[in-house]
Structure 1
Amino acid sequence: MAEYQFEEKKSGFGKILFWIVLVIFLFGGVFFWYKYYFVFGEGVKSGYLNYAVKKGYIFKTYEGKIIQEGFGKGKTGTFTSYEFEFSVDDAKVFKQLEENSGKHFDLHYKEYNGTLPWRGNTKYVVDRIVSMK
């Protein structure tokens, strides 16, 4: 008695669906990397440290604010100060900031396109202290 072997054909729909899902995941991964991990800019900001705090409900992050020298002109008849709010990703840097509140700092930061809850509340992440006076 002869046995027949049937070859299983993959449907064209299955292949197309596989490639569509793969492309969606690749685009999603690239978008996530660009939004949250691509460093958009770097720089140094100078000013007097207003506060340095550790806060958060689930993810405890280091946050701070420096007041830059000078005043800007806001709405008619008002003045606004230059404030720079930032997050800190290194506990050693945060400790140095916390112990020297009120002093003048030059802080190097990286600017990202988006925020992540475990990285901080701002797009600006201070990674080192350039100088302290």
Structure 2
Amino acid sequence: MATTYDATNKKSGTFKKVLGWIIVVLLLCAGGYVYYRYYFVFGEGVKSGYLNYAVKKGNVFKTYEGKLIQEGFGSSKVGTGISSNEFEFSIVSDSIFNVLEVNSGKYFDLHYKEYHGILPWRGNTRYVVDKVVNMK
């Protein structure tokens, strides 16, 4: 008995394979973008200054936020004159927040990580403090 060749079945199988690969590539690209935007550490370093405040706030996600006032003068916007340098940051853990909360007004050296994007459960800023290096 001779078998017949079905061209429409062959085209349908090829189309499904190509569509499957396109979906896989799009998912990988989307996953790479999300990783780069929200989880890739763009920069890290240490900022020093006097702790202005450390608070827990948020409507849905309660996050820890803080602000350092850095020594020296700078201009945050062109044409606005001289203003103090401020570093606003989010805090990654309860233990770091507790140290900052009870020592407001002291001089700190804080290690931070900078991300490209903000996640609501990580904080309100792109800068996330993960370690207290020094406190005076």
Q: TM-score scaled by structure 1?
A: 0.90
Deviation at 1:77, TM superposition (A): 7.1
Instruction: Show the 5 A alignment for 1:9-20.
Output: 9=10, 10-20=12-22
What CA deviation, in whole Å up to 9, does each residue of 1:62-117 have, x standing for no partner?
00000000111465572111000000011100010001111110000001111101
Match of 1:39 among 41, 44, 52: 41
The one-letter amino acid of 1:28's match is: A
Q: What CA distance in whole angstroms lies between the structure 1 residues aligned with 2:94 and 2:78?
A: 38
Question: In structure 2, how many angstroms separate the alpha carbons of the residues matched to 1:124 and 1:72?
Answer: 20
* TM-score calculated relative to the size of structure 2: 0.88
Paired residue for 2:61?
A: 59
Structure 1 counterpart of 2:95, one-letter code: K
Instruction: Give 1:12 shift.
Output: 1.6
CA RMSD between the two structures: 2.0
State how far apart, in whole Å, the 1-side matches of 2:82 and 2:20 are. Answer: 58
Aligned length: 130
Structure 2 counterpart of 1:107, one-letter code: L
Does the alignment pair 1:114 with 2:126? Answer: no
Change (3 A) 1:16 1:94: same
The ranges of structure 1 where at least 4 consecutive aligned residues each deviate by more than 6 angstroms after the TM superposition are none
Aligned residue number for residue 96 of structure 2: 93
Determine the C-alpha separation between the residues in 1 that align with 2:116 and 2:79: 32
Specify the alignment match of 1:129 in structure 2.
132
Cα distance in 2 between the residues matched to 1:77 and 1:132: 32
Q: In percent, how many aligned pairs have the same letter?
A: 62
* Alpha-carbon distance between aligned partners in 1 of 2:80 and 2:126, rounded to the nearest angstrom: 31
Structure 1 residue aligned with 2:23: 21
Match of 1:11, SS state, is helix
Unaligned runs of 5+ in 1: none
Give the deviation of 1:11 after TM superposition: 2.1
